[in-house]
Structure 1
Amino acid sequence: MSVHNTSVIEISTFFLIGIPGLEHAHIWLSIPICLMYLVAIMGNCIILFLIKTETSLHEPMYYFLSMLAFSDLGLSISSLPTMLRTFLLNATEISLDACFAQEFFIHVFSAMESSVLFIMSIDRFVAVYNPLRYTSILTGSKVFKIGLIFAALCITLILPFPFTLKRLKFCKKRLLSHSYCLHQDVMKVACSDNRVNMIYGFFVAVLSLLYLVCISVSYMLILKIVLGIASHKGRLKFFNTCISHICAVFIFYTPIITLAALHRFAKNVSPVIGAIIADIFLLAPPLMNPIVYSVKSQFPCHFNINLCICY
């Protein structure tokens, strides 16, 4: 068979990878990974349950937090099957369709989380800039409509990903770089022209970074307002309303920006580093956000759970 003919034989499955060089330790690594998934899912489910059942939490700030918890929950559930199969069972094979579906949901919930963090920064600006009219500006119905609009926008934005991947041909390369499917990872192993995927993927990445820029601008405006407050106690009070959200932004954006930079610029970096950062990208936000929002005070609930959602 000629080289040309061999190159057009399309594959039907990919192989995922855990942490290169540590395959012998995957069974042990699966233990902390399982615990992190368990804590992340339980923590975000508790937040959603308490916000739903406690009428005292039916306020804009808690509605936004429930959106963040929902995004974190979706991110965990989307990546859970392949992560556990790879580390716990050493089952790394995944069909193309399953891979495309997984990358769609991972990117959708990532986009939703990015959108919610942006909305929460606007919410914090309104709370600091005009605290007396805060509840009248951001009513429950407005918050619900904002959430629906941004969710629809995220789904619309990510929907082309699986279809643009579906049109590509995958021939020889079958090994992906992570223990789950990402758009930028899958398109690199295609043996046909993937320029459309690269251009659209870059466009989506720029929009995500634009959210980060808008968040930074909102906090610059908040800082300007806070510095204009004469009393030191007043400054600390306003700063305390934002610290948890700032932590959530850093937790989410640090690994995703690092991972994107590795995919585009660091071609010779050790695959171990890329694999670890990719796992942190999925595990850290769902795990840490419930913890970050449990620093200040308690939920008014009957479960005696020391969780706070003040931000």
Structure 2
Amino acid sequence: MSAIIIKPFFHHDTSTISYVVYDSYSLNAAIIDSAIDYENNSGNIAFYFADSQIEFVKNNKLTLKWILETHAHADHLSASYYLRSQLGGKIAIGKNITQAQQVFKDLLALSDDEVSVLGQEFDVLLNHNEVLYIGDTAINVIATPGHTKDSVTYLIEDNAFIGDTLFMPDSGSARCDFPGGAATELYQSIMQIYSLPENTKLWMCHDYQPNGRELQFQTTVAESKKSNIHIRDDVSQDSFVAIRQARDKNLAVPRLLYPALQVNIKAGQLPQPNSHNQIFFKIPVYIRQSEDK
């Protein structure tokens, strides 16, 4: 019988699903893809969502060993740094976070003091096929790039935490138009996931509840292969790339893109306050010329 227990937490503002995963024998735990509460209009930041996870960890007498990111998210701000400050544990992410750091350091004109390009803000940079542990239970790391270069899947027994690689079957797959994204890579990564046993549970990082349906946290390899609206198991790479590229051309910029990236490439650290103890995010401005000029 499995010792693994999975507790989902839903962050309503960003439709993000985060997980506390723990070994019921050792009471060692991991938290995957947690979020900060951030109001873009007011600039207010709070930690209610992360605090609910902290309360769960403490109430169940768990020891947090790992704070895991599936990738540097563009749609919510990571609570990893805050969780570590409250509970300990190590923050881990795919090793290609260094590429994301370089891209967005340049894009946002960040200084060497604001972000490294070596992943130094994280405790562990993960390689494909690396293995972590909570108690005696293995966490297998699978590199699944395509949405981003640093995307990874965490396979724990028959549970795969897949980040933004796939969504629920009625929502399809992740966009590939961010720097470092590639639809061909995403297709190959999804094929890796589809090669897992068909009863493998795929735990979502987001659920956007199309047509107002009830919230869902997970599907299976078999169900996604059968009915995913973008990539069933009979869809060729060329067809998928065409679908993905056509869709990406019409997608809006994520609402929290620039604040999220500034925090998430730094393992959830907020920008340093200035001499007046104020914190600011940078937002690049692009001036578009009128077409009739």
TM-score norm. by structure 1 comes to: 0.26
Specify which structure has the higher proportion of strand. Answer: 2
Bigger Rg, structure 1 or 2: 1
Specify which structure has the higher proportion of helix. Answer: 1
